[in-house]
Structure 1
Amino acid sequence: MTEPDLNLLIALDVLLAEGSVAGAARRLGLSASAMSRTLSRLRTATGDPLLVRAGRNMVLTPYAEEIRERTQNTLFEARAVLRPSAVELDPATLERTFILRANDGFVEAFGPALIAAAAAAAPLVRLRFAPKPEKSSKPLREGLVDLEIGVLGDMGPEIRLQALFRDRFVGVARKGHPLALQPDVTLEHYVACGHVVASRSGRVAGPVDQALAELGLERNIAAVVPSFPAALAVAQASDLVALVPASFLINQPVVNGNGVVATLFAFELPVKTQGITVSQMWHPRSEVDPAHRWLRQLVLSVCRRQAPAS
């Protein structure tokens, strides 16, 4: 019996992840015609069409959907077998681009310190921060990113995670806002203000509103924006009060108990809300990779050094 061409595994993995010949060709650096020929070989090898036309698009067949994760894991195991068993990593000579998927607030708060720490230890390493429009394990599962950073969602049982720090929500208003003139921000002061909230999905109510409702109170939400940095910008330029994680203020000069000259006034909320655990998440394929372990330790040490007290 003829042995299968195991090189086809790489093409199959990319093809199933992209779901298109053109996308797979771009990732593999092949021409569209070369990728089409590879698809023909894969169809012959598997006995399945793998990709079929649905209107103007191509979609995976049921068999292709079934073997997608198994193909990823098989390729991961093959690469692990061929990797030296005891690699001594020298960060000074490590040349690699790591992709971290995180929201804008994390990048603004921790990005500068992470970039500086990476440059000091591994000058040939590049950190690329990818946007995070939604919570999804797909980029990790398909090998499109090295780390997902944020609050744990429905990532699947195979995804590894490590808590980085505990965060909490704080209120923020512009410098000179009437709240900044109060010795303490009380419930009455807080609900008397107009508010801007951040929500990717457009949801208006959140944990603060639930806590207020239990006290028979309600705040006036005048605007909803898609991100916490946008909420900060609105609060800074208006009389609206924003609600943001405390970590988002790490690189923002705020008026606090020490009277720091700034354009923002931050205060503790007059209601109790649950804390937030920010974690880093990765796929098992990267678990034993020395370079990836180095990256995870770098992120952990920087975040724990920079994070605000919870």
Structure 2
Amino acid sequence: MSNPDLNLLLTLDALLAEGSVAGAARRLRLSPSAMSRSLARLREATGDPLLVRAGRGLVASPRALELRERIAPLVQEAQAALRPAAALRLDTLEREFTLRTREGFVENFGAALLARVAGEAPAVRLRFVPKTDRDSGPLRDGSVDLETGVIGATTGPELRAQALFGDRFVGVVREGHALSRGRVTVARFAAGQHIAISRGGTATGPVDDALTALALRRDAAVTVTGFGQALALVRGSDLIATVPERHTGTLRDGLVTFALPLPLAPFTVSLLWHPRMDGDAAHRWLRGCVRESCA
């Protein structure tokens, strides 16, 4: 059985509302002959005359009267679906958004973001989930609305991205550590015991590559998966952590931060989302809130 022509719903709605071929033709801006042909197709599709001549006019058949109660709401709903979305009302918006971020984002930017959201859309709720990998699947399947991160080879090519802030790696030690005093040279830095940070469990990274280029290596005494873990170990030991400066601002309170004596390139933390959300007004508003909270 072939699929019905859904355009006939609009034609039938006009015919039932006007009660005449000429009136329905004017309503849909068609010629009377074109409307007559559409009525013939409707009669064939439904197996019913629908509109029957009575004197100089047409009267609806019982089947047509039954359809009129069903067709009008369908047409109205379809027309509403194809109109531009209604203007966003933040004061009445009720929605929950899920954001996937690495350690430090909530601690540094979460309070400002929450204050901005609460001030404009008090019924909106935010849900933060940890970013444990670089898989773009959660953005694709809709389980995550927004994500922050550094764009790399594993970032889904279809994702939208907008820069949030620039960052760089810095060294961190506890108060009283040998590197908290004097100039930190490459030799002094490499001679200490370090904390490697790796979500995948590997103990090497950009710091190791930079040291290798200088014919040096560091002793990674321990490997952890997050910035918070590394900085917690720094507070109670003589270990050295290398972390993003801006991303760990509040996490480094009470610790000594120093510029790395290595030529590590700065990087950009971006906001990522799936393109299907481009036209969503509430999503677009939230993206603006995140950007301004990180500015």
Q: Distance in 1 between matches of 2:119 and 2:222?
A: 42
What is the 5 A alignment of 1:111-130?
Answer: 111-130=110-129
Q: Distance in 1 between matches of 2:83 and 2:216?
A: 62
What secondary structure sits across from 1:300 in the alignment? helix
2:157 maps to: 157
Structure 1: 5+ residue runs without aligned partners? 5-78, 255-261, 305-310
Structure 2 vs 1, CA of residues 83 and 148 (structure 1 numbering), >3 Å: closer, same or farther? farther
Can you list the C-alpha shifts for 1:3-48, whole angstroms capped at 9, x where unaligned? 59xxxxxxxxxxxxxxxxxxxxxxxxxxxxxxxxxxxxxxxxxxxx
The letter for the 2-side match of 1:278 is: V
- Identical positions, percent: 49
The answer (yes or no) to whether the contact 2:107–2:251 under 8 Å persists in 1 is: no
1:102 maps to: 101
Structure 2 vs 1, CA of residues 297 and 218 (structure 1 numbering), >3 Å: closer, same or farther? same
Q: Distance in 2 between matches of 1:192 and 1:103?
A: 29
1:253 positional shift:
5.5
Q: Distance in 1 between matches of 2:82 and 2:176?
A: 60
The letter for the 2-side match of 1:165 is: F
Aligned with 1:289 (options 277, 280, 294): 280
The answer (yes or no) to whether the contact 1:87–1:290 under 8 Å persists in 2 is: no
The answer (yes or no) to whether the contact 2:160–2:273 under 8 Å persists in 1 is: yes
How many residue pairs get matched?
Answer: 220
Can you list the C-alpha shifts for 1:154-209, whole angstroms capped at 9, x where unaligned? 23222111111111100001111111122x21112211210001101111111111
What secondary structure sits across from 2:164 in the alignment? strand
Structure 2 vs 1, CA of residues 132 and 219 (structure 1 numbering), >3 Å: closer, same or farther? same
1:145 maps to: 144
Q: Distance in 2 between matches of 1:84 and 1:177?
A: 65
The letter for the 2-side match of 1:109 is: N
1:232 positional shift:
0.8
Can you list the C-alpha shifts for 1:269-304, whole angstroms capped at 9, x where unaligned? 011101121111111111010000001111111112
Can you list the C-alpha shifts for 1:191-238, whole angstroms capped at 9, x where unaligned? 121000110111111111111111111111111001111111111111
What secondary structure sits across from 2:157 in the alignment? coil
What is the 5 A alignment of 1:39-188?
Answer: 82=81, 84-153=83-152, 154-182=154-182, 184-188=183-187
2:54 maps to: none
Q: Distance in 2 between matches of 1:229 and 1:146?
A: 24
Q: Distance in 2 between matches of 1:111 and 1:187?
A: 35
Aligned with 1:272 (options 258, 263, 287): 263
What secondary structure sits across from 1:126 in the alignment? strand
